[in-house]
Chain A
Amino acid sequence: MSPIGSVYPTAHSATLGRVDAPLPKGLSGLLAPDQTGTAAGPEGFGRMLDGLVATVDAKEAQATELTRKVLLGDSDQIHQSVIAMQEASVAFSLMVEVRNKLVESYQELMRMQV
């Protein structure tokens, strides 16, 4: 259940009223690993971050390859190379944003009174 109700405008109003209602389709991937049945163990978070870094790294590698081709004269599509670089940059910003959010949540948990 999202605290910000309007971010899932597709959810039925009936679903919105019940805390234990099943999540709308597509959101099940956001559940904790033990709830979805695919027990990931303690390394679940690390693996997720690893996947994120790998995706961003692939984008960076693609941008580097296109730039190399332009610099070597194999291609004259300068815009392709610059667009790939911009895409890699946006992906990197998104990754940093996700990491900031995760660290923030962790610190919030650590501050919790037991």
Chain B
Amino acid sequence: MNLISGIDVTAGALAAQKMRLDIVAQNIANAQATRTPEGGPYKRQIVSFETELVKRAGGTSLPTVHVAGITSDRTPGEQVYNPQHPDAGADGLVQMPNVNLSYEMVDLITASRSYEANLSVVKNARTLALKALEIGK
């Protein structure tokens, strides 16, 4: 039973956007990491979303969103000449992660704005439910 209509859909979207924020944080944190357990520099991670049906009271279904998967960005990162670096090759070049901070900041802003938009939906749904209770007054 769900008193506030549509809240399951919004909750799914909130969780998905939160996951996106976490992945952006991970990308920014690893922007300089040249060594990973898999070997090679850190690879930028990308989140993709997919639609999922949520069953509501009364039998109707509404599509919500959830994280379909986290994939690695395959574009090559830049090579920096730094012979002192422990991960430098024989030619003195270091393979850096393919993280672009400007892209990550844009992603960060988009994800937090989407999160805020979904929060507004929650707030509005709650106000509507409380207003409906005032019918008898």
Contacts and interface: CB of A to CB of B under 8 A. Distances in A.
Given A83-B7, A83-B122, A97-B136, A90 B15 contact: no
A101 interface: yes
A9 to B, nearest CB: 15
A32 interface: no
A94 interface: yes
Nearest to A56: B3
Grouping DSSP codes into helix (H, G, I), strand (E, B) and loop, the B interface class, with mixed when no group exceeds half, is helix
A83 B13 CA distance: 13
Grouping DSSP codes into helix (H, G, I), strand (E, B) and loop, the A interface class, with mixed when no group exceeds half, is helix
26 contacts: A55-B1, A76-B18, A77-B15, A77-B18, A79-B11, A79-B15, A79-B18, A79-B119, A79-B122, A80-B15, A83-B7, A83-B11, A83-B122, A86-B122, A86-B126, A87-B2, A87-B4, A87-B7, A90-B3, A90-B126, A90-B129, A90-B130, A90-B133, A94-B3, A97-B136, A101-B136
